[in-house]
């Protein structure tokens, strides 16, 4: 297997690896590269659904995002079940467009994601690149004053909040498994359970910091996001059909770039659940959301 680092602080390309038939030594090598680069791209490997699912399961238990335990892959796409491109005002389309803003997967769930994997099944002619930003390198580059300021701070993460900022009311307890139990509270600095490296843990779902006025919390979060998601900490992948990418949600943010929304874009997503001990978060019911929705029951 050949592993070639990108020129950024994260991201590497893996060639000549058969993900469907890895020896123990190869898996060890791949896992080591994954922990080092946080994003691995395997060009044009054309995994089948079950091959992708089986490979993803090497990292841990899959998060069921479809509501059906037998269906482990989620199609992140702008088409309906008949393959027709969704209109701009479609509710699901607006949820998919939320992916255009820097985030880490499932940070609004009680247990956030460990790893996510994507395969490119259908692509628009242009645009639709995916970018990842390195929150370890971002933390390393923070000045001491900022580090001291955020050291003991935590933020609530909410999907209702992040969609509301895009003008979409998401019904509490509606599909996608959004919790009814309140919002998880997560430290702004996350120490990686496998590498021990600290990383900023932020993204578009983070919205309120206990001990700070909401206005100050928003300013701090947006300052950190702007600072963090800058070169050389941003790795971009321009997709070809059959490409497969895996990333570490514990230490990177990601987003998709705009594309021609009249053309179909279909990605197969598998998500590995985080570990209870390190990705589980306390849930708070009592916080009144600041964004117009009543608190989840």
| Binding-site ranges for ligand OGA (CB under 6 A) | 76, 99, 105, 116, 118, 130, 254, 256, 267, 269
**Contact of residue 14 among Mn ion, ligand OGA, none (CB under 5-8 Å per partner type):** none
Bridge partners, residue 172, by sequence: none
- Minimum distance from residue 236 beta carbon to Mn ion (Å): 15
**Contact of residue 205 among Mn ion, ligand OGA, none (CB under 5-8 Å per partner type):** none
Question: 29 with 1: CB under 8 angstroms?
Answer: yes
- Minimum distance from residue 245 beta carbon to ligand OGA (Å): 9
Using the minimum distance from each CB to Mn ion, give the nearer residue, 17 or 269: 269
- Minimum distance from residue 230 beta carbon to ligand OGA (Å): 20
Using the minimum distance from each CB to ligand OGA, give the nearer residue, 95 or 283: 95
- Minimum distance from residue 268 beta carbon to Mn ion (Å): 13
Among residues 33, 274, 289, 254, which one has the least CA distance to residue 161? 289
**Contact of residue 118 among ligand OGA, Mn ion, none (CB under 5-8 Å per partner type):** ligand OGA
Apex 114 CA angle, 111 and 116, nearest 5? 115
Using the minimum distance from each CB to ligand OGA, give the nearer residue, 200 or 267: 267
Torsion of Cα atoms, 47 then 49 then 50 then 56, to 10°? 70
- Minimum distance from residue 103 beta carbon to ligand OGA (Å): 7
Using the minimum distance from each CB to Mn ion, give the nearer residue, 8 or 255: 255
Residue 142's H or E segment, with its range, is: none
Using the minimum distance from each CB to ligand OGA, give the nearer residue, 122 or 278: 122
What stretches of the chain show up as alpha helix (H) in DSSP? 24-37, 49-56, 91-97, 135-141, 144-150, 159-164, 214-228, 276-279
**Contact of residue 246 among ligand OGA, Mn ion, none (CB under 5-8 Å per partner type):** none
- Minimum distance from residue 225 beta carbon to ligand OGA (Å): 16
**Contact of residue 130 among ligand OGA, Mn ion, none (CB under 5-8 Å per partner type):** ligand OGA
- Distance between alpha carbon 256 and the CA centroid of its chain, in Å? 11
Bridge partners, residue 252, by sequence: 134
Using the minimum distance from each CB to ligand OGA, give the nearer residue, 19 or 256: 256
Cβ-closest position to ligand OGA: 256
Report how far apart, in Å, the C-alpha atoms of 46 and of each of 27, 52, 105, 218 are: 19, 9, 23, 41
Burial category of 68 from C-beta neighbours within 10 Å (exposed 0-12, middle 13-18, buried 19 and up): exposed
**Contact of residue 269 among Mn ion, ligand OGA, none (CB under 5-8 Å per partner type):** ligand OGA
Apex 166 CA angle, 165 and 169, nearest 5? 80
């Amino acid at each position: 297997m050949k592993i070639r680092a990108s020129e950024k602080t994260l991201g590497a390309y893996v060639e000549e690896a058969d993900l469907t038939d890895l020896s123990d030594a190869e898996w060890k090598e791949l896992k080591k590269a994954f922990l080092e680069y946080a994003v691995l791209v395997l060009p044009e490997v054309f995994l089948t659904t079950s091959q992708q699912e089986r490979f993803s399961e090497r990292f841990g238990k899959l998060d069921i995002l479809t509501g059906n335990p037998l269906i482990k892959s989620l199609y992140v796409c702008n088409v309906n079940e008949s393959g027709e491109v969704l209109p701009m005002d479609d509710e699901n389309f607006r949820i998919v467009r939320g992916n255009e803003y820097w985030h880490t997967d499932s940070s609004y769930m009680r247990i956030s994601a460990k790893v996510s994997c994507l395969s490119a099944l259908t692509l628009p002619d242009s645009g639709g690149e995916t970018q990842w930003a390195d929150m370890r390198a971002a933390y390393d580059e923070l000045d001491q004053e900022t580090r001291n300021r955020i050291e003991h701070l935590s933020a609530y993460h909410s999907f209702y909040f992040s969609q509301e900022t895009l003008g979409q009311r998401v019904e509490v307890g509606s599909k996608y498994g959004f919790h009814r139990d309140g919002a998880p509270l997560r430290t702004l600095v996350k120490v990686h359970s496998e590498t021990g490296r600290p990383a900023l843990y932020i993204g578009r779902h983070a919205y309120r910091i206990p001990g700070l006025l909401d206005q100050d919390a928003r300013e701090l979060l947006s300052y950190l996001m702007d600072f963090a998601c800058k070169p050389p900490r941003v790795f971009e992948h321009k997709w070809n059909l059959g490409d497969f990418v895996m990333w570490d949600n514990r230490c990177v943010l990601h987003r998709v770039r705009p594309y021609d929304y009249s053309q179909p874009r279909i990605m197969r997503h598998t998500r590995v659940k985080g570990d209870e001990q390190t990705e589980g978060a306390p849930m708070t019911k009592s916080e009144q959301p600041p964004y117009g929705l009543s608190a989840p029951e």
